[in-house]
Amino acid sequence: MDIFEVIRKRGSVRWFKQDPIDDSTIMKILEAGIRAPTAMGMQQWFFVVVKDEKVREKVWKFLKKVHIFYYTRARVGSESFDQERMRKLQERLDKGMYRAPVYIAAYLHLGRRGLKDEYSEIEEMWGIESVSAAIENISLSAIALGLGTCWIGVVNFLEEEINEILKPPEGCKLIAILPLGFPLEPPKPKPRKGLEEVTKVI
């Protein structure tokens, strides 16, 4: 697949086969991640890769819990999230949504600083952007290798809870967790707004 085909074929994957993934494949994907552009060349990313079965189970339980938090507490209109929708969501989660043979937690490590204190907000923004670029490289590499992933951002709602499980180095801010595995079904690319709606050419 050329790069455009990979991009076209990418779609979020939330249901995975539970077959393990070779270490060499995981490393190849992470290597692609760290080829991303990085503000000031600082490489302030840090990845926690979860393969251990017991820890994976904990991460999956956390992902279920934090998605329920998002839908019932955080999202606009969550007040009208009724019992029936809750039951359906819980059922899908319990059936294995987000359960994967590997999880990659992508962190921003602000231990190394490149900007003066007065510009710390910009430093953090650049850091988040750099880690995000790595996440996209990881997502596309997964597709290129027949795997799939989903960018899970709701993890930030209960960040401390997951950090107690993953124990990242001090000074790390969680950006996303990426479940990684062979998709149960090939990803279905979702439609996008037309370019004319989101572009201005001058």
Ligand X SMILES: Cc1cc2nc3c(=O)[nH]c(=O)nc-3n(C[C@H](O)[C@H](O)[C@H](O)COP(=O)(O)O)c2cc1C
**Rule CB under 6 A: which residues touch ligand X?**
11-12, 14, 150-154, 190
| In the complex, minimum distance from the CB of residue 70 to ligand X, in angstroms, rounded to a whole number | 7
> Closer to ligand X at the Cβ: 41 or 191?
191
**Residue 97 or residue 118: which is nearer to ligand X going by CB?**
97
Q: List, in sequence order, every residue forming a beta bridge with 152; answer none if it has no partner.
A: 177
What's the min distance (Å) between Cβ of 51 and ligand X? Answer: 21
Q: How far is the CB of 191 from ligand X (least distance, A)?
A: 9
Q: In angstroms, what is the minimal distance from the CB of 152 to ligand X?
A: 4
Handedness of CA 59, 65, 67, 73 (dihedral sign): negative
Q: Which is nearer to ligand X, 14 or 173 (CB)?
A: 14
- If the CB atoms of residues 111 and 186 are measured against ligand X, the closer one turns out to be 186
**In the 8-state DSSP scheme, what is residue 190?**
P
Query: Would you mind telling me the total number of residues written for the chain in this entry?
Result: 202
Q: Count Cβ atoms below 10 Å from residue 17 Cβ, excluding itself.
A: 13
Name the residue whose CB lies closest to ligand X. Answer: 153
Nearest distance, CB of residue 61 and ligand X, angstroms: 15
Q: How far apart are CA 181 and CA 173, in angstroms?
A: 24
Q: How far apart are CA 174 and CA 155, in angstroms?
A: 8
Q: Could you tell me if 185 and 142 are in contact, meaning their C-beta atoms sit under 8 angstroms apart?
A: no
For 153: left if phi > 0, alpha if psi spans -120 to 50, otherwise beta; the answer is alpha
Handedness of CA 97, 64, 88, 72 (dihedral sign): negative
In whole angstroms, what is the distance from residue 99 CA to residue 94 CA?
9
Smallest gap from Cβ 135 to ligand X, in A, equals 8
Q: Which is nearer to ligand X, 3 or 202 (CB)?
A: 3
110 phi/psi in degrees, rounded to 5: -90, 15
Compare residues 4 and 116 and give the one whose CB is closer to ligand X: 4
